[in-house]
Structure 1
Amino acid sequence: MTNFRLLAAALLLTFASSLPAAAQKLPLNELSRYLNSFQTASGAFTQVNDDGTISEGRILIKRPGRVRFEYKPPEDMLVVADGDTVGIIDGKSNEGPQGYPLNQTPLSIILARNVDFSRARMVTDHSSDGTTTTVRAQDPKNPDYGSIDLVFTSNPTELRQWVINDSGGSRTTVILGDLTTGVSISNDNFVILGIGTGSRPER
């Protein structure tokens, strides 16, 4: 476990050292504008789990409400949000796919049709370390669902990582590679088999 935590720390340090020089804190309206500027995106991701283990894979985003995390071996896992449900398909489990309401997860904040960080009680922290701007956001009506820390760089504005702080106190960090936006992504990528949700119509 110690080795995994050392790897995680080294990975985060590498991410920080690759960022550009000091920059001013990005305003909330600019961060909202950036997230609303694209509907689709794809790219690589590295995930640092709460126990320090590290996973890698590819992410597909199709707003509103859809995201797909494809994990590389040795992981045998797929996580898909179809607009209403987050399905977790673990190939090593005998229990079958597990489903959770998307609107009860902090990820729904950035998958919304219209992201608006100016909403009352949505943003609980907005800070800069001189290199990145970090926003902590939550569902204003249901703060008990957890929060998400979004880390942005500037020139141009880009989302570089997020941290999910769930209601149970665990933290999952997703470090993004360069996202390609405006790509064509079929809705077939967001069908959750075995839960009975199916694909959702465009909204």
Structure 2
Amino acid sequence: MRAIGTMRADFVQSDRNGRQVRGVLTLKRPGKIRFQYEKGVPMLIVADGSALTFVDYEVRQVQRWPIKNSPLGALLDPNRDVMKYGKLMPTGNRQIVSIEVRDKAHPEYGVITLVFIRKPGAPGGLELSSWASLDSQNTRTVVSLSNQQYGVSVPDSTFRYNDPRRPVRR
């Protein structure tokens, strides 16, 4: 993961009930990510380097928490050492590398299983193809990536969002 400076990819996000949403993922290290969902999906997930923000435009709600306190911390938190918290999982296929990441001291952060495919042209020779996360509420989400592009130009403004909450009147 540290070999990736920037990445853009298409994603399909699936929940436990089989519902799927699509969009474009943009990643910039350290700690920045944006899940721009397809038209008609009124939500956005964005991390600005320190906090992960979930924006629901339909109900005008914004939730923020430190990156390190979510399963995505394994991908985004520059201070999280995947070698310390990760465990190589058997896949039965030499071309696929699977790593389960969990912080045993903080089970509330959830667990994420990262799946890489060996690919010579990818940073570090491994292409992130998907992950499955299980959060502290036992909600399972699978994100599958395709059309990964590395080293793309990504301005920091990509990781900002429009706050849907009404301004407070004084």
Fold shared, TM-score > 0.5 on shorter chain: yes
**Cross-structure match for 1:174:** 143
Structure 1 residue 126, shift from structure 2 partner: 2.0
**Cross-structure match for 2:8:** 42
Deviation readout 1:80-114 (Å, 9 max, x if unpaired): 111121111122114x2222221100111111336
Q: Secondary structure at the match of 1:92?
A: coil
Unaligned runs of 5+ in 2: 121-125, 165-170
Structure 1 residue 143, shift from structure 2 partner: 2.9
Question: Which amino acid in structure 1 is aligned with residue 29 of structure 2?
Answer: R
Cα distance in 2 for residues equivalent to 1:186 and 1:76? 23
Identity %: 30
Q: How does 1:46-195 map to 2 (within 5 A)?
A: 46-94=12-60, 96-113=61-78, 116-119=81-84, 122-130=85-93, 131-156=95-120, 157-194=126-163
In terms of fraction of residues, the more strand-rich structure is 2
Indicate the RMSD between aligned Cα atoms, in angstroms: 2.0
Equivalent residues of 1:62, 1:185 under 8 A apart? yes
Q: Secondary structure at the match of 2:30?
A: coil
Unaligned runs of 5+ in 1: 1-34, 196-203
Q: How many residue pairs are counted as aligned between the two chains?
A: 158
Stretches of 4+ moved more than 4 A in 1?
Answer: none
Structure 1 residue 171, shift from structure 2 partner: 0.5
Cα distance in 2 for residues equivalent to 1:124 and 1:143? 15
TM-score w.r.t. length of structure 2: 0.84
TM-score w.r.t. length of structure 1: 0.71
Question: Which amino acid in structure 1 is aligned with residue 67 of structure 2?
Answer: L
Structure 1 residue 52, shift from structure 2 partner: 1.6
Cα distance in 1 for residues equivalent to 2:36 and 2:25? 6
